Amino acid sequence: APVLAVRDVEKTYTSGTRALRGVSMRVLPGTVHGLIGANGAGKSTLIKILSGWQQASAGTVEWKGAAVDWSQPGQALEAGMAAVHQHTPLVDAMTVVENVFLGRRETKRWDAAARRAELLALCERVGYELDPGELVSELSVGARQMVAILQALARDPAVVLLDEPTAALSPAEREVLFRSVRRLRDAGTTFVYTSHFLDEVMALTDHLTVLRDGLVVVDSPTADVTVES
């Protein structure tokens, strides 16, 4: 059964633009689900609806089998849906460990040793090394992106939405990110993944949904998708 699904979702902006015209999509647990489409196809709109930043004009979002209305800020994240955007804000003047646990609801007061140990365990799971005490301002673009992803993972989400995560990365950093995503996927985390790079989507995703003009034009296992070049 899907962990996340949208059914017959429509979005008409107040301007009159019909950004989504009856979109349905099912995201199965433990998969990397690619979402692609040309500029203006409706990807951002769908992502905003999935992460609760925007409401659909019609249709439903279903989370673990039940219709949800993520109309309150933070509701999606609370439920276990964590979004990482291209420009997820990090605080430059703070350390890696401070950024990773930033904003997480803590039940106890900040325990530096415990947080550091938790971060190192998380890094181990992801297969990525970071110095917990390093300032974020000192990090490469790729390392910053990993900090943003670790920040999402620190909340132990069921689904992680990665919106163009490799846009600013070097080829080497991209490979590192792929390896981490595959590793987490194999351990059960579900990803919704958007990218402009078709080769990357073909290599990384298990399932592909392609939008065009607010409609789903391809929705199938990635292995069954043929790409004409």
Site string for ligand ADP, 29-68 (x = CB under 6 A): --------x-xxxxxxx--------x--------------
Interacting residues with ligand ADP between 2 and 21 (CB under 6 A): 13-15, 17, 19
Q: Which residues pair with 61 in a beta bridge?
A: 6, 68
Site string for ligand ADP, 138-167 (x = CB under 6 A): ------------------------------
Q: Is 209 in the site for ligand ADP (CB under 6 A)?
A: no
Q: What's the closest the beta carbon of residue 14 comes to ligand ADP, in angstroms?
A: 4
User: Which of residues 10 and 173 has its CB atom nearest to ligand ADP in the complex?
Assistant: 10
DSSP helix/strand/coil, 73:
coil
Tokens of 61: 């979002």
Q: What's the closest the beta carbon of residue 220 comes to ligand ADP, in angstroms?
A: 19
**If we measure between CA atoms, which residue out of 161, 159, 224, 165 comes closest to residue 200?**
165
Number of residues that bind ligand ADP (CB under 6 A): 14
Question: φ and ψ at 190, to 5 degrees?
Answer: -100, 140
Q: What is the largest CA-CA distance in the chain?
A: 55
Distance CA 185, CA 209 (A): 18
Q: What's the closest the beta carbon of residue 80 comes to ligand ADP, in angstroms?
A: 24
User: Which of residues 44 and 190 has its CB atom nearest to ligand ADP in the complex?
Assistant: 44
E strand or H helix at 145, and its extent?
helix 141-153
Q: What's the closest the beta carbon of residue 161 comes to ligand ADP, in angstroms?
A: 13
Q: What's the closest the beta carbon of residue 113 comes to ligand ADP, in angstroms?
A: 41
Q: Please state, as a whole number, how many other Cβ atoms lie within 10 Å of the Cβ of residue 22.
A: 14
Judge contact between 164 and 197, C-beta under 8 A.
Answer: no
User: Which of residues 18 and 125 has its CB atom nearest to ligand ADP in the complex?
Assistant: 18
- Cβ neighbourhood burial of 31 (10 Å; 0-12, 13-18, 19+): buried
Task: Tell how strand 18-27 and strand 4-12 pair up.
Answer: antiparallel
Q: What's the closest the beta carbon of residue 134 comes to ligand ADP, in angstroms?
A: 33
Residues that bind ligand ADP (CB under 6 A): 13-15, 17, 19, 37, 39-45, 54
